[in-house]
Amino acid sequence: MLEPREGIPPVTADADALAEVIATFAAGHGPVAVDAERASGYRYGQRAYLVQLRRAGAGTALIDPVGCPDLSGLGAAIADAEWVLHAATQDLPCLRDIGMIPARIFDTELAGRLAGFARVGLGAMVENILGYALEKGHSAVDWSTRPLPDPWLHYAALDVELLVDLRDALEEELARQGKLEWAHQEFAAIAAAPPAPPRKDPWRRTSGMHKVRRRRQMAVVRELWTARDRIAQRRDVSPGKVLGDAAIVEAALALPANVRALAALSGFGHRMNRRQLEQWQAAVDRARELPEADLPQPGQPVAGPPPPRAWADKDPAAAARLSAARAAVTQLAEGLNLPQENLIAPDTVRRLCWEPPAEPTTDAVASVLAGHGARPWQIDQVTPVLAAALLATPA
């Protein structure tokens, strides 16, 4: 498919145009295809820079959330409709930030996983199921660019052009496989999920952190990461464009004593002026001067079981339970033609095997699974095989 059926609509970027879109979509019928474009890798955070919608009777709309930062009125106008998204968990946070919160969704990527498709990207699924090839050349561009070039808008409009058609075909396939109710439960869980809490100690996720062993070095990573994040937020650019992770780790390992030593490190000397070098050295110095009691501890307190690789030493019986449970889940997933992680979350299996019920009856196992957030269809499918695996490997 080379062109949207009604052409590329004008970008909605002011209150009057948005009011027209709201009225048009409220008068439409059926599911609403929804997509959002972010500027990951270019801007700070994950805000939406373009929202695309399509609905029968309303056509396609392209909305600029910079010009129209509050889309709660649009969200309310289509609140009763099913929203069709591809990889919903990627777009829902940025949609929520601008006031668009669905009550019901259909996630075409997740539907494809449940139906057993090997390739679940939007382009691959549209081609495989509907027989159309979509242009996918602009997915990684800087969507904060203004004005948005016509080829990008063309791509964005095509992203929602066939989404409802794809939804209908997937619903039919899921019903044929007896998995439609499974999908409904998954979609309901996504729609009802609260926003993710802020990550604790996000600096620990710095790429290359595994090389940093000493607490003083960890403090350098923390100080540099925090300074970088503050600058990136102020300038509204991706943190990686301010200072790369590799440079942060390099400075942590070297613990440079002055600006000259810092400038000699990879990632600092090239095209970095004196003032920039001084701000990074100041962060290093803050870490160097911290009292021992204020240095970060190695590793984070882990809630739940330890990494599985340590089980054989810590608790051989638990390791045996996990091995048997994983084998059972793998076999069941293959028989149902869906990914293991969609059949049951791997973390849920680990927690069950690390702290199994005293009597691993099916009722007891089902209760543990429910307590960890497993959906009813997952509990129905995996409880018998997990209970059998626990019984076969007693403590």
Which pair of tokens denotes residue 225? 């990461």
Q: What are phi and psi of 272, to 5 degrees?
A: -115, 125
Which pair of tokens denotes residue 171? 């619903």
Name the residue type at position 186.
E
Q: What gap in Å lies between CA 241 and CA 228, rounded to an integer?
A: 10
Contact 66, 11 (CB under 8 A): no
Question: Which helix or strand (DSSP H or E) is residue 318 part of?
Answer: helix 316-336
Bond into 147 cis (ω within 30): yes
Which pair of tokens denotes residue 374? 């497993």
Which pair of tokens denotes residue 335? 């028989």
Which residues are CB-neighbours of 175 under 8 A, at least 6 positions away? none
**Sites in the chain below the pLDDT cut of 70:** 1, 136-137, 300-302, 394-395
- CA torsion sign for 198, 348, 85, 143 is positive
Q: DSSP of 330-362, one letter per residue?
A: HHHHHHHTS-HHHHS-HHHHHHHHHS--SS--H
Residue from 320, 316, 337 nearest 381 by CA:
337
